[in-house]
Every structure is written in C-alpha cells, then in structure tokens.
Amino acid sequence: MDSVTRTVHGSSLADVAWIDDDGVQAGGAVVLLWGETPAIAFSYAYADLARSIAAASQATFAFTETRSTSSTFAPGSITGRPSLVEDHDGGIFTEELLEQELRRHPPARVFADSVLLRREHWWYLPRLIVTLDVEAFRPLPPRTPSGTTEYLLAVAVDGRLETHLVRAAEGDSSRSLLLEPVAGGTLPRGQAVLTGQDASFPDRQQWSTWQYRGFCTGSSAEAGAVLEVAESPETTGLEPVPSVWQRMRRQQKFGKACRKGIAEAEHRLA
C-alpha cells in the first residue's frame, strides 16, 4: 500500500482546497478510495460545489485529522488534477464507495444502511464523484485532538496551490491573524484561505467548517506571516447540539436539495 492509498484508507475527515474564478476555495470533505484513486462522492445537494472543484486545474486533499482514523493513517496532502464522473443512477457509488462512506461517515447510515433505507432514500445514492489524478504527496503534521487550534492554510502561488498546517492568533487588529507553521519553515505570499473544522467523534452527528479569506503576507527567517483578513466567519467551532426536531428538519431539507439537484441534472441531459 503506497503513501496515498494508506493515508486515504485510514482517514476520517479531510480538507479540500482548489482555485476557481473567485480565487482560493477550501472546505471539509470525506475522501474515499475508488480503486486506488482518491475521490469525493458529492450528493446532488452539493452539485455546484462538486462541479467547481472538478473544473479547477489543481486541487489538494489534506489529511490532518487523527480522530477516528485507522492504524494505516499517516497525515499528508495529495495534490493533482481533479475530474468529474456523474453517477446519475448511483450504481457506481453503491457498488464501489457506499460501504466506505457508511464506515467513515456514520450519519450516512440513517439514509443507506440497509436495502430498505436505500429504497426509501433513493435520492441519496446518485453522486457527482470528483476524482484526483495524483501528481504529488507531501507529509503534513497532524492537528491536535481538539481539532480547533490548527488551521489548513491554502495559498495561491503563481496559479498553483500551496497548503500548510498553521496555528493562528489574533494580530494587531481584528482584520489580521498571525500565522505560525506547525512544521516550521516559512509560508508563501499570495491570496489565501484559512480553514478550520471540528466534529463530534465518533458519531460525527455534528460537523462544522469555517474559513477566513484574505491575503497571506508570507514569512521569512526574520518575520512571521500575517493573514490580512478580507472575510471572517460568523462563528467558529461546533454548533450547538441540534434537537430531534431540528435534525429531522435538516434531513428533510437535505433530501429536498438532493432531489432538486437530480431533477436539474436530468433536465440538462434531456
């Protein structure tokens, strides 16, 4: 088992970063293995997001979360060219990827942990599968167990992505953050996104991601890097535990969004 498959096979949550027409983007993801190829299987509720990542010239899957991982896991980042496979009937996902998702992402069991549930929630199975043609693998340090003290920094450098795990602290103003690379060394200069995430383990019923967007000044041996913040998240950390009613409403909203995305895809094909 090589470094890429070992890392993906043993992972739980990951970060995905890419560059689109609006600049650097990042978010949380569950990365699966389609054969030996890293892949994210988006439901049709996230069709626009899947197509945005797949249209990028380069994307990075970063694995720094150590909670709920297996013995094969080693933190690292995988960079390559993304592409999209639209699995309209869910056949590929069901046969090749569903078992992995049920194991790595427990909330999926509500929709697809039995044949009966899959029939009831048929809209959960069709997927937009974003695969990564791997060009490079680079080790990364792990996040601490709390999951909230380190961030993944994604910087656009001459149209290419660079990713680093960093610690962030308030700077001289509310519009700046001081950045310290966890692994040491220097940080690049360029447009950047600082993304954090946390989840409730092992059930994963709560999962929150948040981003700071702005410009990274870069660092040197003499001076540290600063993120000049242009956009801040409204909240950070895990949201409050939802009530049973809120959870039901969330599931209903998710199902409606999936069915709408599937209908729009079918309309394009007609």
Report yes or no on 212 lying in a domain.
yes
Report yes or no on 237 lying in a domain.
no
Domain interval for residue 204: 3-231
User: Which pLDDT score is estimated for 149?
Assistant: 75
Report yes or no on 256 lying in a domain.
no
Average pLDDT, consecutive stretches of 10 residues, N- to C-terminus, the chain (270 residues): 89 96 94 97 98 97 95 94 97 97 96 97 98 95 78 94 93 85 93 95 92 92 86 90 92 97 89
Neighbour-count burial of 117, counting CB atoms closer than 10 A to its CB (0-12 exposed, 13-18 middle, 19+ buried): middle
Contacts with 234 (C-beta within 8 Å, 6 or more apart), sequence order: none
pLDDT in tens, 159-180: 899 999 999 988 777 789 999 9
23's torsion region: left (phi>0), alpha (psi -120 to 50) or beta? left
Report yes or no on 252 lying in a domain.
no
Report yes or no on 204 lying in a domain.
yes
Buried/exposed code over 131-154 (b: 16+ C-beta within 10 A; e: otherwise): bbebeebeebebbeeebbebbbbb
The three-point CA angle 120-126-131 to 5° equals 145
User: Which pLDDT score is estimated for 147?
Assistant: 52
Which element (helix H / strand E) includes 26? Answer: strand 23-29
Report yes or no on 105 lying in a domain.
yes
Asked if 7 contacts 76 with a C-beta cutoff of 8 angstroms, the reply is yes
Buried/exposed code over 163-185 (b: 16+ C-beta within 10 A; e: otherwise): bbbbebeebeeeeebbbebbeee
User: Which pLDDT score is estimated for 164?
Assistant: 95
Number of folded domains in the chain?
Answer: 1
Task: Report how far residue 26's alpha carbon sits from residue 43's, in angstroms, rounded to the nearest whole number.
Answer: 18
pTM for this prediction: 0.94
Report yes or no on 11 lying in a domain.
yes
Q: What is the CATH number of the domain that holds 186?
A: 2.30.110.10
Report yes or no on 236 lying in a domain.
no
